[in-house]
């Protein structure tokens, strides 16, 4: 163990990698914090139980007891020290479970020094309420694995954290998921459901634009015998069938005004009556709504109720389009390759370098759903053991959205015109990465495949400031 003078707070760093520990100690010492270290989970547990620790940074992969098990024991023993989990593998289950077990936050390697400093200040400034009772949720890995969300970029890591935090809240907390078509909004809804206690209860999904308007009310609320012509017997609606589970309302932006009003009452009162009935029925399920529309614009245009929006938008989760997280395309394409190798009884080994480059540069207007469809067709049609760029080019050319861009010609010579287009591209590229990663320069550089120094050099060239994107 190592120790320095305590001036601001005492921080425990738990990691069995000497390089990581050294880097933490250097940063914390420079910032005036006291720091001690532990090399395994058992030592971390002993040290934390002694008290006098203000914050913990802990790796998820540790000897003897892993980081998640240590978090679980912290909860059992009533240890409420803010703990930030670190991992080299930003998979969904780890992030969700860490947040469920009470982690203050979750970091992925390579570590960003500025992010460490930011989280240290935030964690030490925040008072964490004591919670020594039983966990309000239990992690169900089997359910979550079935609806795995693939992605390790910074935006997806934040979404995993939100899923973990939401899953520990009561069912009365509603969630609104936004994003373009094909980004995986239902997957997020199912991940929340699968990570929540009581997952034996149903996940009831309904597409508000797929059911005819005159049938949607009875689908949601159910109806009594004789409520209308053809109602020969009582029918239970989606709200009732969901029990203590989840009601997923997809395409909520297309809900008719009269049903918007009725849904608002259900959310306010947590009860409803069947069509043709007068007996109040309690709603126990969590409401998760999803839309690819801009509901705030819909409110301004008089198409969506503002009070309903606020009731649904207690927790907001926005899924970025695939073009804004292109670093996840190789991960996703290989995941779908494995999936369809199994489904189609094929043994395609991978993508050629040119094929993977082609996928990574494509804009995917249909997002993850389109990528999955392309990989499925490629696995089915390829005759060798590798998917080639020739095969993908034929598929992508079938998509009317794939057109050669019209480039601005601004200059009298070839060199002047080329330089103008390149400068325009570089500036837009840097700005788009900073916008997608909320001004985090290190993350933007990593996502771009550039060193931080080169990325900053390009920012300086075009007078781009990171704070403008935070």
Instruction: Express each pLDDT in 4-29 by its tens digit.
Output: 344 468 899 999 999 999 999 989 98
Strands 315-318 and 235-236 come out as unpaired
Domain boundary, last residue among 356, 371, 397 = 397
CATH of the domain at 353: 1.10.8.60
Please, where are the H alpha helices in 245-328?
257-269, 295-300, 306-312
Q: Where are the alpha helices (DSSP H) in 387-466?
A: 389-397, 414-436, 441-448, 452-461
Considering the domain architecture, whether residues 340 and 276 belong to the same structural domain is answered as no
Instruction: Report the distance separating Cα 53 and Cα 202, nearest Å.
Output: 42
Average pLDDT over residues 186-203: 84
Sign of dihedral through CA atoms 59, 64, 65, 66? positive
Mean pLDDT within 437-449: 82
pLDDT given at position 293 = 92
Whether 278 maps to a domain, the answer reads: yes
Among all chains, which residue has been given the structure tokens 């979550």?
144
Residues 268, 359 within the same domain = no
Residues 170 and 271 in one domain: yes
Residue 4 lies in a domain: no
Is there a single domain that holds both residue 339 and residue 311? no
Q: What is the pLDDT of residue 408?
A: 64
Reply yes or no on whether the pLDDT at 426 is more than 50: yes
The whole-number pLDDT of residue 139 equals 41
Cα–Cα distance, 249 to 320 (Å, whole number): 20
Has residue 136 been placed in a domain?
no
In CATH, what number is assigned to the domain containing residue 84?
Answer: 3.40.50.2300
Do 168 and 118 share a domain, yes or no? no
Which two three-digit tokens encode residue 198?
């009581």
* CA nearest to 248, candidates 239, 235, 240, 259: 239
- What are the angstrom distances between the C-alpha of 356 and each of 119, 294, 311, 402? 36, 33, 43, 17
Q: Give CA torsion, residues 266, 269, 274, 280, to 10 deg.
A: 170
The whole-number average pLDDT for the span 144-165 is 82
pLDDT at 187: 94
Please determine, for residue 305, whether its predicted confidence score (pLDDT) is greater than 90: yes
Average pLDDT, the chain: 84
CB 458 within 8 A of CB 428: no
Please give the Cα distance from 411 to 376 (Å, whole number). 44
Are 15 and 115 contained in the same domain?
A: yes
> Is the same domain home to 250 and 310?
yes
Reported as half-sphere exposure (CB side, CA atoms, 13 A), residue 463 has a value of 0
Question: Is the confidence at residue 307, as pLDDT, over 90?
Answer: yes
Closest CA to 23 of 79, 107, 123: 107
29 lies in some domain: yes
Question: What is the per-residue pLDDT for 140?
Answer: 44
Residue range 160-169, pLDDT digits in tens = 999 999 988 9
Q: Which of 369, 397, 425 is the last residue of a domain?
A: 397
The answer to whether residue 60 scores a pLDDT higher than 50 is yes
> Which band of pLDDT confidence, cut at 50, 70 and 90, is reported for residue 291?
very high
Rounded to 10 degrees, the C-alpha dihedral 92/94/100/106 comes to -90
- 404 pLDDT above the threshold of 60: no
Confidence of residue 130 (pLDDT cuts 50, 70, 90): very low
205 near 318, Cβ under 8 Å? no
Mark whether 88 and 20 lie in a shared domain: yes
Strand partners, 84: 57, 105
Domains of the chain: total: 4
| Mean pLDDT within 106-133 | 72
Phi, psi angle pair for 244, to nearest 5°: -95, 15
Confidence of residue 279 (pLDDT cuts 50, 70, 90): confident
Beta carbons of 250 and 182 less than 8 angstroms apart: no
Q: What is the pLDDT of residue 127?
A: 37
Q: Tell me: the pLDDT tens digits for 98-107?
A: 888 889 998 8
Residue 397 clears pLDDT 90, i.e. is over it:
no
- Whether residue 469 contacts residue 435, with contact meaning beta carbons closer than 8 Å, is answered with yes
Nearest-angstrom CA–CA distance, 106 and 94? 9
Instruction: Tell me, yes or no, whether 302 and 351 share the same domain.
Output: no
Residue 31 located in a structural domain: yes
How many percent of the chain have pLDDT more than 90? Answer: 39
Q: Does pLDDT of 204 surpass 50?
A: yes
Give me the mean pLDDT over the 21-40 stretch.
90
Q: What is the pLDDT of residue 40?
A: 92
Q: What is the mean pLDDT of residues 108-137?
A: 66
CATH number of the domain that residue 193 is part of: 3.40.50.300
Residue 317, pLDDT above cutoff 70: yes
Average pLDDT, integer, range 276-292: 92
SS3 content of the chain, % helix, strand, coil (to 5): 50, 15, 40
Reply yes or no on whether the pLDDT at 65 is more than 60.
Answer: yes
Asked if 306 and 429 sit in the same domain, the reply is no
Residue 178 lies in a domain: yes
Q: Hey, how many other C-beta atoms are within 10 angstroms of the C-beta on 148?
A: 14
**81: its two tokens:** 């020290």
In a domain, 76, yes or no: yes
Q: How far is residue 312's CA from residue 291's CA, in Å, rounded to a whole number?
A: 11
Can you give the pLDDT at residue 299? Answer: 94
What is the pLDDT averaged over residues 68-76? 91
Same domain, 296 and 332: no
pLDDT band with cut points at 50, 70 and 90 for residue 409 = low
- 147 pLDDT exceeds 70? no
Task: Print the SS3 string covering 114-176.
Answer: HHHHHHHHHHHHCCCCCCCCCCCCCCCHHHHHHCCCCCCCHHHHHHHHHHHHHCCCCCCCCEE
pTM over 0.85: no
Assess whether 230 and 312 both reside in one domain.
Answer: yes
Domain boundary, last residue among 60, 95, 125: 125
Give residue 443's domain range. 414-469
- What is the C-alpha to C-alpha distance for residues 442 and 360, in angstroms, rounded to an integer? 21
Residue 301 CB neighbours (<10 A): 9
pLDDT digits 0-9 by tens, 323-377: 999 889 998 999 899 999 999 999 999 999 888 888 988 889 899 999 999 999 9
Question: What's the rounded Cα separation, in Å, for the pair 423 and 458?
Answer: 10
Residue 91 within any structural domain of the chain = yes
Structure confidence at residue 142 (pLDDT): 42
Buried b (16+ CB within 10 A) or exposed e, 432-456: ebbebbeebbbbbbbbbebeeeebb
pLDDT tops 70 at residue 1: no
Task: Report pLDDT digits (tens) over 228-248.
Answer: 777 778 888 899 998 899 999
Tokens of 465: 């400031």
pLDDT of residue 285: 93
Residues 198 and 244: beta-carbon distance below 8 Å: yes
């Amino acid at each position: 163990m190592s120790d320095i003078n305590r001036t601001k707070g005492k921080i425990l760093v738990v990691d069995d990698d000497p390089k990581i520990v050294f880097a933490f100690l250097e940063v914390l010492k420079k910032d005036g914090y006291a720091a001690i270290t532990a090399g395994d989970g058992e030592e971390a547990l002993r040290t934390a139980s002694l008290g006098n620790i203000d914050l913990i940074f802990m790796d998820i992969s540790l000897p003897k007891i892993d980081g998640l098990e240590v978090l679980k024991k912290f909860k059992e023993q009533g240890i409420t020290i803010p703990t930030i989990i670190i991992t080299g593998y930003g998979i969904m289950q780890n992030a969700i479970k860490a947040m469920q077990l009470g982690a203050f936050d979750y970091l992925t390697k390579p570590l960003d020094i500025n992010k460490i400093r930011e989280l240290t200040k935030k964690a030490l400034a925040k008072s964490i309420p004591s919670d020594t009772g039983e966990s309000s949720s239990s992690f169900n890995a089997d359910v979550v694995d079935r609806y795995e969300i693939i992605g390790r970029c910074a935006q997806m890591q934040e979404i995993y954290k939100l899923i973990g935090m939401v899953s520990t809240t009561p069912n009365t907390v509603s969630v609104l998921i936004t994003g373009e078509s094909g980004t995986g909004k239902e997957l997020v809804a199912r991940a929340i459901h699968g990570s929540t206690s009581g997952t034996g209860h149903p996940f009831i999904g309904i597409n508000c634009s797929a059911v005819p308007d005159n049938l949607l009310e009875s689908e949601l609320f159910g109806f009594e015998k004789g409520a209308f012509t053809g109602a020969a017997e009582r029918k239970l609606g989606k709200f009732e069938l969901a029990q203590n589970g989840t009601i997923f309302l997809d395409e909520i932006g297309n809900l008719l005004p009269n049903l918007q009003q009725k849904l608002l009452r259900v959310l306010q009162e947590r009860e409803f009556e069947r069509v043709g009935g007068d007996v109040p029925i309690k709603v126990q399920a969590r409401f998760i709504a999803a839309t690819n529309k801009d509901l705030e614009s819909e409110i301004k245009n008089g198409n969506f109720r503002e009070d309903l929006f606020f009731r649904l938008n207690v927790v907001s989760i926005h899924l970025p389009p695939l073009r804004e997280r292109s670093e996840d395309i190789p991960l996703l394409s290989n995941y779908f390759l494995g999936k369809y190798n199994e489904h189609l009884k094929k043994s395609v080994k991978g993508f050629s370098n040119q094929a993977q480059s082609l996928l990574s540069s494509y804009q995917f207007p249909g997002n993850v759903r389109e990528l999955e469809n392309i990989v499925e067709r490629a696995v089915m049609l390829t005759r060798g053991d590798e998917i080639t760029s020739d095969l993908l080019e034929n598929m992508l050319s079938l998509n009317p959205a794939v057109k050669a861009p019209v480039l601005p010609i601004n200059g009298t010579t070839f060199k002047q015109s080329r330089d103008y287009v390149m400068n325009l591209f570089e500036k837009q590229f840097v700005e788009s990465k900073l916008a997608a990663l909320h001004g985090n320069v290190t993350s933007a550089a990593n996502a771009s495949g550039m060193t931080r120094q080169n990325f900053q050099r390009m920012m300086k060239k075009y007078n781009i400031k990171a704070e403008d994107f935070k």
